[in-house]
Amino acid sequence: MNAPTLFTFFSGISFLIYGTSCLFAPHMRKEFVRFGYPRQRVLTGILQLLGALGLILGYFIHPLIAFLAAAGLSAMMIFGFYVRLAIRDHIYAASPALIYAVLNLYLSVHYGQFLFP
């Protein structure tokens, strides 16, 4: 298995878990209040689930779907990293968002090369 395939499924499965958690886990409700975005929790969860499905389905169906999903997840994680820093979370707490932003940026470049040669 090559790196883009591994990263696609790692990110896709991760966001299936995070998106579901965002929608249903009580601790995530509290986290979004702490972040200052309580009304965006459900939208964030739905977008995470759509991004996860886009990555996984795009891998099998068409690179455009995976490209759009990876780019969207990367943008969401860049914003998440910014929010964590803005509320003065420790860099350790903010680092997963940055790691997922870079991972999905890599995937968007990877899938983009099939669309924009």
pLDDT tens per residue across all 117 residues of the chain: 899 999 999 999 999 999 999 999 999 999 999 999 999 999 999 999 999 999 999 999 999 999 999 999 999 999 999 999 999 999 999 999 999 999 999 999 999 998 887
Angle at 91 between CA 86 and CA 93, to 5 degrees: 90
Given a contact cutoff of 8 angstroms between Cβ atoms, the answer to whether 41 and 22 are in contact is: yes
What pLDDT is stored for residue 36 in this prediction? 96
Given a contact cutoff of 8 angstroms between Cβ atoms, the answer to whether 77 and 51 are in contact is: no
Half-sphere exposure of 48 (CA within 13 A, CB side): 23
What pLDDT is stored for residue 117 in this prediction? 75
Q: Hey, what are 50's tokens?
A: 């759509």
